[in-house]
Each structure stands twice: as C-alpha cells, then as structure tokens.
C-alpha cells in the first residue's frame, strides 16, 4: 500500500471511531507511526485529507451500489444486499461523524449531499421501478414521492441521528430497522414472501456461519 493510501485508510478508521473534529493530524501521525511531516508531504491540511477521503468513500459506495444490482436476483434481494453492506459500513461509525462533516468541512459535506441526491436517488428510483416491473412492489407506488421519502430517511441517519438513542443503538441498527420498515411498506404479497425468505436465510447464516477452513 502506498503511503498516501496508508494515511487515508488509517485516518478513516480514526475518524469513524472519534469523529472528524476531535482527531488531529498529530493523532493520525502517532497512530500510524509516521511523522507529521510525512502526512503534510501528501496532504496540504486536514481538510484536504478529509475531502479526498470522502471522495474515495463516494466512489466505493457507487461501485458497491452497482454491485448490489448485478449480484441480486430481484429488487427485494438488492435491498437486502444493500442492507447488509450498510450494516458493515455503519457498524463502527461514530454518530458525531456526519455532524462534524457538515459543520467543519463544507466542501466534503456538499460533495456527499450531491452524491446522495443524484446517485443514491437514482439507485432508489431504479430499484422501485425494477420491483414494480418484477411484480414484487405495489403497482400504485409513486416512484418520485417514494424516492424522496427514502432519501429523507437516509437524511435522518446523516443529519438527525440525535432523534434516536445512539448510546443504545448503533447507526447500523437504526438504518437497518428503517430500511426494513421501508421495504415492508413498498412490497406486495409476492415481495413480502421474499422478505421472509431472505430473513430466514440471514438467520441461518448467523446460526451456522461458514467454516473458514
């Protein structure tokens, strides 16, 4: 791994754990075992580091959303795969992260919001259209309104997570529960059957994890 990528990866882990504001360049250097001079040879300042980090996360998330579409057999499974990815992505994330990003790093925050509105919004709308075409979502759904509603739910996690007890539930717990509620609301009877099917498969995986040997 190149030094620049090593710094980004290490800083990302620290930011996820403690938030953007409380982690200094000194903290990053100490944690990674590199000099602060090395960090500044690769990044002008902390803000530039965060801008690049968020840009990379956006690229990775875009790739992951496309992967969910390709690997899924139907629209319901696409949401389930995405839900598992969200669980992994948000599991160790400090709830203050998005607040810090919005307040102290406007450029990165605006890039993130633009991605959510354009790319995530497009993915949600396409999934709704797919589910309707596959006979799994309710035919009368207004795709535009439901897409907006879904983006508002995502906003709740990123900008209003103080509505939930984040000392009791992780962002992953909250997002998964909101997503399940959303999925139950848009599915017809055939779609509900698939929800129960994939739920059962997840329970079996949890009870009988694959042997790594």
54-207 topology per CATH: Tetracycline Repressor; domain 2 (1.10.357)
Please state which of the ranges 76-80, 138-142, 176-180, 206-210 shows the lowest mean pLDDT: 206-210
Give the predicted TM-score (pTM) of the model.
0.86
pLDDT (tens digit, 9 = 90+) per residue, 95-126?
Answer: 788 889 999 999 999 999 999 999 999 999 99
In angstroms, the CA 98 to CA 89 distance is 14
138 phi, psi to nearest 5 deg: -60, 130
Could you report the per-residue pLDDT of 120-175, keeping only the tens digit for each? Answer: 999 999 999 999 999 999 999 999 999 999 999 988 877 776 788 878 888 888 88
Ordered DSSP codes for 37-81: HHHHHH-SSHHHHHHHHHHHHHHHHHHHHHHHHHH-SSHHHHHHH
């Amino acid at each position: 791994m190149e030094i620049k990528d090593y710094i980004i990866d290490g800083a990302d882990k620290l930011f996820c754990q403690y938030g953007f504001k409380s982690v200094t360049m000194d903290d990053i250097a100490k944690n990674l075992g590199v000099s602060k001079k090395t960090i500044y040879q690769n990044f002008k300042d902390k803000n530039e580091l965060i801008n690049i980090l968020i840009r990379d996360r956006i690229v990775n998330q875009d790739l992951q959303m496309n992967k969910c579409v390709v690997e899924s057999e139907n629209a319901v499974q696409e949401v389930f795969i995405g839900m598992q990815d969200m669980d992994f992505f948000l599991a160790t994330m400090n709830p203050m992260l998005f607040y810090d990003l919005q307040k102290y790093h406007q450029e990165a925050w605006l890039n993130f919001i633009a991605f959510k509105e354009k790319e995530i919004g497009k993915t949600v709308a396409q999934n709704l259209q797919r589910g309707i075409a596959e006979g799994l979502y309710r035919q009368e759904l207004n795709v535009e309104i439901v897409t907006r509603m879904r983006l508002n739910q995502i906003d709740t996690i990123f900008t209003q997570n103080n509505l939930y007890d984040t000392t009791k539930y992780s962002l992953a717990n909250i997002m998964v529960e909101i997503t399940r509620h959303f999925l139950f609301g848009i599915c017809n009877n055939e779609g509900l059957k698939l929800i129960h099917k994939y739920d059962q498969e997840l329970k079996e995986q949890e009870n009988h994890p694959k042997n790594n040997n």
